Amino acid sequence: MSLDSITRTIDESVGGFFEPIATWLGGVVFYAVDINGAEVPLIVAWLVIAGLVFSGWFGLIQFRKFGLALRVVRGKYDEKGAAGEVSHFQALTAAVSGTVGLGNIAGVAVAVSIGGAGATFWMIVCGLLGMATKFVEVTLGVKYREVHADGTVSGGPMHYLPKGLAERFGAGGAKLGKVLAVLASAMILFFGLFGGNLFQVNQSYAQLTAVTGGEDGLMGSSGGALLFGIVIAALVGVVLLGGIRSIASVTSRLVPAMAAVYVAACLVVITVNITAVPAAFERIVSEAFNPQGVAGGILGALIVGFKRAAFSNEAGLGSAPIAHSAAKTRHPASEGLVALLEPFIDTVIVCTMTALTIVIANPESWGEARAGESIGGVTITSDAFATVLPWFPYILTVAVLLFAFSTVLTWGYYGLKAWTYLFGRSRASELTFKALYTVFAVAGSLLTLQTLIDLADAVLFTLAVINIIGLYLLAPVVKRELSSFLQFVRARDRGADTGAGDAEPETGEDAMTPTR
């Protein structure tokens, strides 16, 4: 029996078993209501409403404190001797690497195909709202993280939900929080294996195959797929063994580099078509409120834009606080401010640059997609670049590989923290997960397992429901942490001795908060 027939049999067997589950849960999580011809997914509305509420609750903090966030990420308010494993900048790049990926390249093209150029405007709006949600969840992630005796850190919804709810609501909150923490861990682990790992490897392999001759090319055989999977798995395994410090070391170099290359390519296309830029912006704004040929009119464009942004920057899903919790700080709100830059980078910059490039280049494939033909998102983006850079598909392949690799790394860390919360932090437990994760990376180049990937998406967005309820209940805690940090900032700016290096960091498995 050949390798191809084995993988085909596995795909069909797994798909047949899980398809009813994936269909049912997807129908529940992504349930949509029809409003004036536009399908409105309730989970997207849930995420957007959270962004609106937190933007109002914290007085549009994403705008008022944007400059402060930049100063924090540059290290101006670093505290000597603070608990944590990585710098503010490294924590940010590690988290961004988990969100910036194929969705920014292919997903945006799909959004402007379905929702028109106006979807870009609503993507930006949703990204700006998501900045407030990200601030809240990451502040809580640092506030209730565990700093272990060896100096390593664990954080995320599996920590701040039980600890925060217990602190605010006593025994009843503790019981509810424990249940939610287990569910959150299981959801993050499941998505990490299938969405954050297998899917990323699968799609990057597909792109590599496409530019090397397709199924008849160098990488088209099952042997080529296996080799690709083994190479990716080996690289991922080596980095994962080094923990968050190793991951942050890689992503702090990889993320800025790959983002710079991608944005530079966008700017080349935009510069060559510089005379078309004013008309493109005018089209984006006008079609946001008066879309052409979009089902559901303005509401249709709005929903498509919001959906793309919400799925891309993951604000409110509870994943990013895991990476940000490792930041060296005594003031949780300091990392919360750093985290609000994440949706700005992911959605307002990268997603918008992709959309603007497509609108300005106006490739033939985009027009065909707008007319209703089924054309892949990566194809549209690639064609847009090819109007100026005929060799760009090869650069795009490199970008896809780098985006995918960094995403696999970050979700490996997220998955590890979920795994150790469920099964303990012993060395054997951690090595078991890392071995399992690398095996899934190999499988990603051989198997599609689309049903499990669809199920993983539904599971992750189920977490958003649980997580955001917790954010609402714990928002007063975030308010106090912000006030504490702003007081620290004012004292530091005056040149006062803030005593940053006097306290010893709190450690231990049951540490409720970092020292501040």
Please provide the average confidence, as pLDDT, over all residues in the chain. Answer: 83
Q: How confident is the model at residue 205 (pLDDT cuts 50, 70, 90)?
A: confident
User: What are the pLDDT digits (tens) for 313-349?
Assistant: 788 888 889 989 999 999 999 999 999 999 999 888 8
Q: How confident is the model at residue 377 (pLDDT cuts 50, 70, 90)?
A: low
CA dist., res. 30 & res. 32, Å (int): 6
| 401 touches 105 (CB < 8 A) | no
Write down the residue that tokens 């079609």 correspond to.
Answer: 287
Q: Rounded mean pLDDT of 345-371?
A: 85
* pLDDT for residue 433: 92
CA distances to 100, 171, 262, 309, 403 from 256, rounded to whole Å, are 11, 45, 10, 20, 11
Q: Which of 52-56, 130-134, 497-501 has the lowest mean pLDDT?
A: 497-501
* pLDDT for residue 505: 39
Q: CA quadruple 120, 123, 127, 128: dihedral positive or negative?
A: positive
For domain 13-490, the CATH architecture is: Up-down Bundle (1.20)
Q: How confident is the model at residue 497 (pLDDT cuts 50, 70, 90)?
A: low
Look at 36 and 42; give whichever has higher pLDDT: 42
* pLDDT for residue 292: 64
Residue 478, class by beta-carbon neighbours within 10 Å (0-12 exposed, 13-18 middle, 19+ buried)?
A: buried
Write the DSSP assignment of 268-293 as a string of letters: HHHHHTGGGHHHHHHHHHHHHHS-SS
Look at 191 and 11; give whichever has higher pLDDT: 191
* pLDDT for residue 513: 38
User: What are the pLDDT digits (tens) for 443-468?
Assistant: 877 776 677 778 888 888 888 888 99
Q: How confident is the model at residue 189 (pLDDT cuts 50, 70, 90)?
A: very high
* pLDDT for residue 498: 58
Write down the residue that tokens 């993280």 correspond to.
Answer: 145
- State whether residue 151 is helix, strand or coil: coil
Q: How many CB atoms lie within 10 A of CB 431?
A: 11
Quote the tokens at residue 475.
């928002």
CA dist., res. 74 & res. 358, Å (int): 33
Q: How confident is the model at residue 516 (pLDDT cuts 50, 70, 90)?
A: very low
CA distances to 66, 68, 341, 464, 488 from 131, rounded to whole Å, are 10, 14, 7, 15, 22
- Provide the CA 413 distance to its chain's centre, in angstroms: 13
Residue 308, class by beta-carbon neighbours within 10 Å (0-12 exposed, 13-18 middle, 19+ buried)?
A: buried
Write the DSSP assignment of 1-26 as a string of letters: --HHHHHHHHHHHHHHHHHHHHHHHH
| Confidence (pTM) | 0.84
Which sequence spans correspond to the domains of the chain?
A: 13-490
| 433 touches 124 (CB < 8 A) | no
Quote the tokens at residue 186.
């299981």
* pLDDT for residue 16: 73
